[in-house]
């Protein structure tokens, strides 16, 4: 009888240990996959790991992997709690087989034991192993996750359908649910928890994550603001315009941007030994990249860095050139405004006296206004504040002209014959904040 009690105790103990071990492997796998998703492994190591079919499948199907990890960890946690109840009861009976422990004592001891064992052995320890060496951790643990993926597949399908039905009744889109392996969430958590990241680095990390939602249209300089090098004019006239602009790169066009032939770099002109009037600009032109308006900004950045382009054209769905983007304008989305000794020190959005009153430059990107003023501007046809005003009015406004849109009371302060230079803005109470 005593031997039977001991066998029952060790069987329960082994079952609890197995559940904790499986949970630990799941945690190791989860943390390793998260680290791989934001580049915490060498390229050679990643290539070797992708040769393992199981690892490749887990990494290529991040959403499904995240759901399996979350569900499997829940199963293991619940199993530990359920198995500890008879384990604690058996433990008391080992010393007095006739004893009947109070059920609340059993529940309390089981709860404390489950929390302690789970926290240290199934969370902290495997998490530390995965952070120290994610490559080794994934090699040791990925088969466990694959096994859970196979065993829970029918149940996951059922709960997926049930969740869709429940979310539909709650008016929630199931696609909006965050994936536990989502790199955005994980990097934000890493940045907030790590004392090694300075405020500047955290700001850059947050801007990097926000850039995932931006496209070329969000940062383009409208064609009306682009200074070109015009082949229909003399080199002297172009040089005078370039000098006044103070830039180093100019689209080389015949008449206007619709016939853009390439890019002229001011350094290439200065390096020539021939007289300015005798320069052949066509021989000095460089190539330009071209991006559709809806091109993701991170894709544009990658392509421009790879091709060593500093300027690119932005085209609409019909192939018409609507403006240009620069490498500097993309980098400013990551690190903030970049100014040199030739740039104006005036900020694009200036807080004025009074509640919710601002002076805003016409060249301010729409998404910067949304972020600073905490409003939502539902207009995907324009990218700058000046463009928004012109689009709403249907014409180039005059100084002092007023309008109300998107919860903003706007008064035009400065304007020329082509664009809105600046306006004052009052955020109204009806703004979507």
120 exposure class (CB count in 10 Å sphere: 0-12, 13-18, 19+): exposed
Let me know if domain 349-427 sits in CATH 3.10.310.10.
no
| Span 78-129, pLDDT tens digits | 888 787 777 777 666 665 555 556 667 767 777 777 778 777 888 888 888 8
Look at residues 266, 67, 28 and name the one whose alpha carbon lies nearest to residue 158: 67
What percentage of the chain has pLDDT greater than the value 70?
82
| pLDDT at site 292 | 92
| Span 208-233, pLDDT tens digits | 777 877 888 888 888 888 889 999 98
429 exposure class (CB count in 10 Å sphere: 0-12, 13-18, 19+): exposed
CB-based contact 414:422 (threshold 8 Å): yes
Residue 430 to residues 349, 407, 433, Cα–Cα distance (Å): 21, 6, 8
Is the confidence at residue 337, as pLDDT, over 60?
yes
Q: Which residue has the tokens 């064992």?
A: 117
| Span 179-207, pLDDT tens digits | 555 544 454 554 444 455 566 776 777 77
CATH class, domain 216-335, is alpha beta
CB-based contact 432:371 (threshold 8 Å): no
Determine the average pLDDT of the residues in 379-384.
Answer: 78
**Which band of pLDDT confidence, cut at 50, 70 and 90, is reported for residue 38?**
low
- Give the β-pairing of 311-315 and 321-326: antiparallel
Q: Which residue has the tokens 């433990």?
A: 91
**Which band of pLDDT confidence, cut at 50, 70 and 90, is reported for residue 313?**
very high
Q: What is the pTM of this model?
A: 0.47
| pLDDT at site 125 | 86
**Which band of pLDDT confidence, cut at 50, 70 and 90, is reported for residue 40?**
low
Spell out the domain ranges in the chain: 2-176, 183-213, 216-335, 349-427
- Can you tell me the distance from the alpha carbon of 228 to that of 205, in angstroms, rounded to the nearest whole number? 35
Report the range out of 175-184, 192-201, 284-293, 363-372 with the highest average pLDDT: 284-293
């Amino acid at each position: 009888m005593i031997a039977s009690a001991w066998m029952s105790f060790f069987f329960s103990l082994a079952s609890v240990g197995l559940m904790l071990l499986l949970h630990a492997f799941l945690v190791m796998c989860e943390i390793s996959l998260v680290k791989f998703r934001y580049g915490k492994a060498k390229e050679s190591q990643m290539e070797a790991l992708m040769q393992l079919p199981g690892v490749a499948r887990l990494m290529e199907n991040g959403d499904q992997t995240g759901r399996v990890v979350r569900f499997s960890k829940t199963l293991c946690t619940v199993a530990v709690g359920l198995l500890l109840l008879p384990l604690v009861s058996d433990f008391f009976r080992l010393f007095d087989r006739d004893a009947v422990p109070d059920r609340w004592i059993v529940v309390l001891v089981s709860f404390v034991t489950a929390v302690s064992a789970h926290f240290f052995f199934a969370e902290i320890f495997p998490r530390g192993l995965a952070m120290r060496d994610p490559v080794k951790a994934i090699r040791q643990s990925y088969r466990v996750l694959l096994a859970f993926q196979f065993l829970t597949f029918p149940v996951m399908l059922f709960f997926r359908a049930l969740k869709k039905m429940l979310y539909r009744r709650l008016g929630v889109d199931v696609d909006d649910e965050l994936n536990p392996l989502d790199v955005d969430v994980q990097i934000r958590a890493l940045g907030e928890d790590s004392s090694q990241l300075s405020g500047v680095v955290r700001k850059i990390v947050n801007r990097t994550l926000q850039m995932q939602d931006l496209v070329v249209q969000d940062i383009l300089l409208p064609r009306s603001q682009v200074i070109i090098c015009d082949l229909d004019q003399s080199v002297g006239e172009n040089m005078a315009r370039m000098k006044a602009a103070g830039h180093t790169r100019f689209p080389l066009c015949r008449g206007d941007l619709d016939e853009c032939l390439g890019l002229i770099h001011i350094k290439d002109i200065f390096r020539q030994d021939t007289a300015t009037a005798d320069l052949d600009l066509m021989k000095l032109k460089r190539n330009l990249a071209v991006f559709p308006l809806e091109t993701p900004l991170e894709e544009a950045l990658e392509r421009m860095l790879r091709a060593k382009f500093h300027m690119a054209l932005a085209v609409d769905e019909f192939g018409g050139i609507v403006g240009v983007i620069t490498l500097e304008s993309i980098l400013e989305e990551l690190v903030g405004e970049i100014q040199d000794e030739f740039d104006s020190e005036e900020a694009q959005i200036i807080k004025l006296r009074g509640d919710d009153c601002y002076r805003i430059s016409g060249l301010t990107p729409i998404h910067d206004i949304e972020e600073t003023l905490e409003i939502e501007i539902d207009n995907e046809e324009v990218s700058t504040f000046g463009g928004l005003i012109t689009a709403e009015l249907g014409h180039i406004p005059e100084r002092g002209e007023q309008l109300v849109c998107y919860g903003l009371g706007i008064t035009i302060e400065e304007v020329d014959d082509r664009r809105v230079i600046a306006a004052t803005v009052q955020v109204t109470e009806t703004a979507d904040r």
